[in-house]
Structure 1
Amino acid sequence: MLRSLPKLSLLFSSARNPHYLASVQRFISVGRRAASRVKIGVASTVPIRSMSTSTISSAITSETAAEDQVQRVNLLRSTDDNYDGVIVELDQPMDSTTFISILRASVSHWKKLGKKGVWIKLPIHLVNLVEALVKEGFWYHHAEPKYLMLVYWIPESPSTIPANATHRVGIGSFVMNEKQEVLVVQENSGLFQGTGVWKFPTGVVDQGEDICVAAVREVKEETGVDSEFVEVLSFRQSHNSFFEKSDLFFVCMLRPLSSDIKTQRLEILNAQWMPFEEYAAQPFIQKSELLKYINDTCLAKMGGQYSGFSSVPTSSNFSDQKNYLYLSAGALKSSYSS
């Protein structure tokens, strides 16, 4: 039965290295005891052929003469992504020294396979490994409440790892009743706190939430009014608006299904139905080029001279979940009829 050389033989290949010779001597002295193997946080091993030298004792040489000696090195569990990279999701605790040894062996293995990007998802309970990863050349990609994602680029070429999410998505809800009154609110926090400005209900689209759904939700949360989505009237892109991220803001038209207002006091100071002309005449609105364009769009829609983008549920090759395509349904029908 073969004996395995101690793991230090992988790190010190020179026979003149005193640490290497010492490790061999310790191996001989322990007889046929198997070398220990680190098992924490690993799922696979690769065989590495040991190097023979003239200084290894004749006892070891005679035992390996009939068959090549093989030692197995633990690797991190990984899955391939679609771009010649690997994704590692750590879950079991381990000390930094052990982790670095396994990490280096894994990166070397991935490099031989031609892999490029390495994604390591580090749960919050393994935060002790962050320093080790950074010292090995990994950098922060993004963070979520329960994990931190770090990345590494293996090839000696510019990294093509995409940046973290670059945009935040917001909505503004244009809700008009049959009296041509628009639903408006005054905020008790944020930029408009204490200004007396009346504005459309606005908010941020949640992760995994559709724009048309978010518009209805925000109206309900801020005013208590039930509504249904009609169209996206317009949208705006801005930059450096939230922690240096860009911002997409969609102006949505909604049809009210109820009229009673129940103000959400956490964020909203007051809410009411206001004649559109009164809303548009506010000095703050008149001084804003952006808001004037939005108001002109709303007026054109009220007059039947403007067609926005309605939501059409569709399927996709990228996900089994239904998603929405926003298009000008009226213009599309006209093109079909012609």
Structure 2
Amino acid sequence: MALNRSQVWSPCCYSSSPVTKTLLIWRLGFSRKAGLRFKAPSLKISNDRQNSFSLNYEKLFTTGLESKRKGINVVTPNTPLSRKLELLDAYEDEYDGAIIDAECLPASANAFAAILQSSLSYWKQKGKKGIWLKILEGQADLVPIAIKSGFIYHHAEPGYVMLTCWLPDEPCMLPFTATHQVGVGAFVINENKEVLVVKEKKCPLRCLGIWKLPTGLINKSEEIFSGAIREVKEETGIETAFLEVVAFRHAHNVTFEKSDLFFICMLKPLSADINIDESEIEAAMWMPLDQLIDQPFHREDSMTKNMTDICVARYENRYRGFNPHRIMSKFDDRLATLYYGYLEMPADNGVLNEPEDITAL
């Protein structure tokens, strides 16, 4: 779900202590990208026997970017009535939700507890749904307060934890955190019909001593094709050019009970001299294709056998996989990689076709 910082609120809430015609002002910033903002509507509160209050809205567009606030004023029971209570700074997303600005959270746990409750009440009154709260590493003491206020853990990354709160009395529609890890396996075969294989230092006992394809996990924000090229280079020192994704495997309840996508990639070698990464790899070599296939592990494991058969079929031009193409989408105005094959099969000349230079697209 895309989260867009298109609007930001910075309103004040009213005090619960008895007041008569107390005037509180709150500011509503609008479209930081456009450099426009609203003049704050006035909030008139009269605390009579009926506890009524009224809102008077007045909009005024001005030019120039609004400066970022450094702090938040907080009202406590002992705060003079001249002080005002502001809600947490938050950006409106495209799904009637709010993203709280982590850099503007109160430093005090007591202040955070009070202003968080006021903010949630206000946002619920305004019909907001999903609230996103990022708490930075240095603000860890605020996490228990948020949990007690109805937030739940969503995901964590180095430096922060993300929590969410669903305000409506209906099933939560917020998306889950990432559910998959993505890995690649590289089938690199040279003109002598030799396959680049490695023997890993650390692996499950059932795979100990097995010659296998170079494999690894894709880094954050890394493409499948560039990840495959990188893994081969890191493990063996061999430079390669990406050809195709020939197949992929989908498994569940793997690492940390996450699902796993594993892409089998065809690469063309651009160098021949092997230089292994000794921290991960015990050995690497160019192994004749027949010798690779003849390994007992490869013959007995249906998954490995099928993957190898597909790669051999691609090498012999009896099969075509998916090539990467950089394409712009109007949905998010971003370049993305679309993997697809061709409708026509190439002539069977017994050699691999030249790869498309994806970095030039």
Do they fold alike, i.e. is TM over 0.5?
yes
Kept after mapping to 2: 8 A contact 1:186/1:269: yes
After TM superposition, give the deviation of residue 82 of structure 1 in Å: 1.5
Distance, in Å, in 2 between the alignment partners of 1:272 and 1:139 is 50
What is the TM-score when the length of structure 2 is the normalising length? 0.74
Equivalent in 48, 69, 79 of residue 52 of structure 1? 48
- Counterpart mapping for 1:127-276 below 5 A: 127-191=140-204, 195-276=208-289
2:141 equivalent to 1:120:
no
Return the structure number with greater helix share. Answer: 1
Q: CA offsets, 1:14-58, max 9 Å, x none? A: xxxxxx7xxx8xx9xxxxxx99xxxxxxxx99836131249xxxx
Q: Is the CA contact (8 Å cut-off) linking 1:48 and 1:73 kept in structure 2?
A: no
Kindly report the root-mean-square deviation, in angstroms, between the aligned alpha carbons of the 2 structures.
2.9
Q: CA deviation at 1:100?
A: 1.2
Q: Structure 1 stretch 225-234 or stretch 69-78: which is displaced more?
A: 69-78
Instruction: Output the CA distance in 2 between the equivalents of 1:331 and 1:48.
Output: 72
2: CA distance between counterparts of 1:181 and 1:303? 13
In structure 2, the partner of 1:96 is 109
Give the gaps of 5 or more residues in structure 2.
Answer: 1-11, 25-39, 51-80, 348-361
**Cα distance in 2 between the residues matched to 1:48 and 1:179:** 84
Q: Is residue 312 of structure 2 the alignment partner of residue 299 of structure 1?
A: yes
TM-aligned CA deviation for residue 280 of structure 1: 1.3
Structure 1 letter corresponding to 2:48? S
SS of structure 2 residue aligned to 1:214: helix
Q: 1:85 aligns with which of 93, 97, 120?
A: 97
**CA deviation map 1:175-203 (0-9, x unaligned):** 00000100000000122687210000001
Q: Are the aligned partners of 2:13 and 2:87 in contact in 1 as well (CA < 8 Å)?
A: no
Whole-angstrom distance in 2 between the partners of 1:320 and 1:333:
34
Q: Secondary structure at the match of 2:111?
A: helix
Q: Is the 2:14–2:45 Cα contact (8 Å) retained in structure 1?
A: no
What residue identity is the alignment partner of 2:129?
K
Contact kept, 8 Å, 2:14 with 2:84, in 1: the verdict is no
Q: Who wins on radius of gyration, i.e. which is larger?
A: 1
Match of 1:39 in 2: none
Q: 1:281 to 1:212 in 2, by over 3 A?
A: same
Other-structure match for 1:58:
none
Change (3 A) 1:186 1:283: same
Instruction: Write the distance in 2 (CA, Å) between the matches of 1:308 and 1:194.
Output: 27
Structure 2: distance between partners of 1:305 and 1:184: 23
**Cα distance in 1 between the residues matched to 2:320 and 2:130:** 45
State the partner residue of 1:38.
none
The residue matched to 1:118 in structure 2 has which SS?
strand
User: What does the per-residue CA deviation read over 1:91-117, in whole Å, with 9 as the maximum and x for residues that have no partner?
Assistant: 255212111111111111111221100
Give the distance between the partners of 1:246 and 1:312, measured in 2 at CA: 26
**Secondary structure in structure 2 of the residue aligned to 1:237:** strand
Question: Secondary structure, in 3 states, of the residue corresponding to 2:253?
Answer: strand
SS at structure 2 position matched to 1:264: coil
Q: 1:126 to 1:277 in 2, by over 3 A?
A: same
- Percent identity reads 41
TM-score for the superposition, normalised by structure 1:
0.79
1:76 — aligned with what? Answer: 88
Unpaired runs of 5+ residues, structure 1, are: 1-6, 13-19, 28-33, 36-43, 55-68
Of 226-235 and 93-102, deviating more is: 93-102
Closer/same/farther in 2, CA of residues 302 and 333 from structure 1, 3 Å limit: closer
Indicate how the Cα distance of structure 1 residues 256 and 73 shifts in structure 2: closer, same or farther if over 3 A, else same: same
